Chain A
Amino acid sequence: MTYLAKVTVTYKESILDPKGEAINDALHRLGYSNVQSVEMGKYFELKVTGNGQPIEEQVDEMCDRLLANVNMETYQIKIVEVED
């Protein structure tokens, strides 16, 4: 069984996001004055082979150890089965 884990990493709410703010400003300059805020995050797709261990737990651990810095980031995981 092969899985596709879709991981989104974003800053925690309390954390400043200067890149998101710069994009927000640029959108305003383009005339999109109704944009209230922009948050920039990271998106990962992991193709993972099933190994009998719970896949969610494994991806969760990968996020904690590498994909996100839990000091300042938070993450969401979606897992779907895909063709081998």
Chain B
Amino acid sequence: MKFAVPVFPGSNCDYDMVNALRDILNVPADLVSAQATNLEGYDAVVLPGGFSYGDYLRSGAIARFSPVMAAVKDFAATGKPVLGICNGFQILTEAGLLPGTLQANRSAQFICQASELIIRNSRTMFTTAYENQTQISLPIAHGEGNYYCDAQTLAELRANHQIVFEYVDNPNGSIANIAGITNRQGNVLGMMPHPERAVETILGSTAGLGIFQSLLSHQREGAHA
């Protein structure tokens, strides 16, 4: 299974992501330019955290129009996994691949801390390695992680089991304590917490590994089917 990690001007979690994939999970991963126009040969895409294009205008608003995002849209339409972490989540909402918006944190402060999450859907291709309704701790680091959507969208998210992660103690004001959601098809996941920062015991936690292990077993099962 081969991962693509698009790099935008201002991405800053791209090397952490590639390190987690290559060195910890032993899977091939390439940094891909924001100017790239095709993602052929890749099995999964991870949009990394950071401040793409300086967060000018709104976080994710400019990155959404970079050439690689057109390729990510096509890639997502084939049903292959697309994961957006932090700024990656913000880009996915701006691009319309996920519903809703990430607003400024309610406290108006940048929040950088460990965050307790509940796994609300362990049946997605990103979460089968976790037990449903269990609690994990992942780092968060964001100024604009306050998820917002209208009431109808929230009802749809609930009805289709698209809410994957919820905060135990809501740090940022997100509606319904939402920390991560998928699209309706379940192959695009956006999450504010950073699983790539929780892959080594020496760094405090390995709770993030499950996301990538889930994707790897999803790929293996697909190959046997």
Contact = CB atoms under 8 A, between A and B. Distances in A.
B210 interface: no
Contact of B103 (A16, A42, A66, A67): A16
Given A66-B57, A69-B58, A72-B103, A19 B108 contact: yes
Contacts of A50: none
A15 interface: yes
A69 B148 contact: no
A69 B108 contact: no
Interface residues of B, number: 18
Contacts of A67: 57
B32 interface: no
Given A21-B108, A66-B65, A72 B57 contact: no
B107 interface: yes
A71 B104 contact: no
Contacts of B108: 18-19, 21-22
B58 A18 contact: no
B101 interface: yes
B103 A15 contact: yes
A19 B108 CA distance: 6
A18 B104 contact: yes
